[in-house]
Structure formats: C-alpha cells, structure tokens
Amino acid sequence: MKKLFIITLLSFFLLPGHVLAVSSNAPVLDKEAFKNMLKEVLKENPEILFDVMKENDSAFIKAITTASETSRTNEMEAKWSKDIKEPKTFTGANRPYLGDKNAPHTLYIFSDFLCTYCQKTAGTVEAFINQHKDVKLVFKAYPKSDQGKIALRWFYLMSQKDMKKAWQLHDTIFAHQQAYANNPLEVLKEIVRQQGLNPEQIAGEAEQKQAELDALINEDIKEAEKYQVAGTPYLFINNLVLVGTQDLTTLESALKFSVK
C-alpha cells in the first residue's frame, strides 16, 4: 500500500501537468517525514522509479529534458552575467574574417586546424554568421602543434591575398583533416592548386613571410593566454565566453543576451 502511495506521489511531483487536489480537512504530511519515508521506500524498492518511468515514458523524459535544459540555460546566463561585466579586447587587424567587416557585433573564435571539436563547430559558426548580417567572425589562431601552425600560416597568408579563397582553404582543410595531418604540405598545395593558384608560389611566400605570419599567430596565442583560453574551440561574442563545440541555439542565445 505504501509503495502504491509513493508511486502516485512521484507521478504527481515528477511529471508535468499534474495538479494535486488536497481537501482542506486532509492532514498535511510533514515535509521531513515524507522525505524520510520516500528515502526508505526507494531504498527498499528501487524499482519504483522504473515503474513510474515505464508508465509515463514520454512525459517523464520530457520533464527530465525540460528540467535539464532550464538548468543549463540558467547556468549559462549566470556565467554570462559575469562575463559581460569584464571587457575583453582582441586584435582583429590582418586576421581572417567572415561577414560584414563593419558589423556592430564580433564573434572571435580561437581555433586549431587539427582539433576535431573545431572541425565540428566551424560549419555551425559560419552558418550563424550567414544568418546574422550584424555579426562578423574573426578567426584567432591557437595551435597545439607545429603541423597546426603550418596550416595557420597558409590561412593567414591567403586571407591577405583573397579572403574568399582563404575561407575555402579553411573549410577544405577541416573537411580533410586526417589527410592534412598525414601530409600537411601536400594537402595544402593540392587545395590551392584546385583554386587555380600556383602551389609552389604560395609555399614560397609562406616560407618567405614566415616570421611575419608567426608574429600574428603568436600575438593570438598571447591573447588566448591573457584570457585563460583552455583548449579549442573557444569563442567570445560581445564579451560572453563560449567554450567547446557550439550549436546554433546557444550562439543565438548568447547574441540576444549580449545586446539586451
């Protein structure tokens, strides 16, 4: 009987859309007493929770999912409330950018061509920029290896020559990330060859301008260290910090929060 009573109460308290009607003459169950009784019953009969889930499968999952999403949103907004009070400045000159150069809002992304999470986020970020003409994307280098640095040199060099082809290079490196990891220079040369450029000439320019390009990359690394960037991808939009792989919903929420 007690088990049935607990199952009924769990259904009312855990699932959405239920209203528990209590008579004004009914005795009020002491909260602490109910808590202790609930612990006791669940300890003796752990299958109760499974019974509730089985009987209310879709509603239970919906309740848990909603609670989880609400908790995550509240946690992010609490963090963003602190972020927005801490101004951050980044150098955007001579960096690859996407979107309107004069857009009022800027999304900075610290990225590495050999990072699988950066690969997953790249397309999402580009789609976000395409949907928001008031936001520009500025790429910042944060390589973890010499191989990653080679691609960054070429990307930065290409952005000085032709921004559209630079982003084509960016997308193609990520699309063939493993092949690039195995043969960096050969993959880079093939990409620019497919773009109608002379690969040996680009390779020569990258070597000739290595000190200049490394200076830009090292400046990015210093900024990353200044703002305690931990891993990649690491994003900043109007001072708000976004860590790791992102989805469009989170990017939309961050933009709205930063301008409200």
pLDDT in 10s for each residue of the chain, 260 residues = 555 555 555 554 555 544 444 444 545 456 667 667 766 776 677 766 666 666 666 555 544 444 445 556 778 889 999 999 999 999 999 999 999 999 999 999 999 999 999 999 999 999 999 999 999 999 999 999 999 999 999 999 999 999 999 999 999 999 999 999 999 999 999 999 999 999 999 999 999 999 999 999 999 999 999 999 999 999 999 999 999 999 999 999 999 999 87
Ramachandran area for residue 155 (φ above 0: left; ψ -120 to 50: alpha; else beta)? alpha
Place of tokens 């950018």: 97
Q: Is the pTM of this model over 0.85?
A: no
Tokens of 83: 């972020």
Question: Phi and psi for 93 in degrees, rounded to 5?
Answer: -65, 140
Tell me which amino acid residue 250 is. T
CA distance 49 to 54: 9
CA distance 47 to 49: 5
Q: Are 118 and 111 in contact (CB under 8 A)?
A: yes
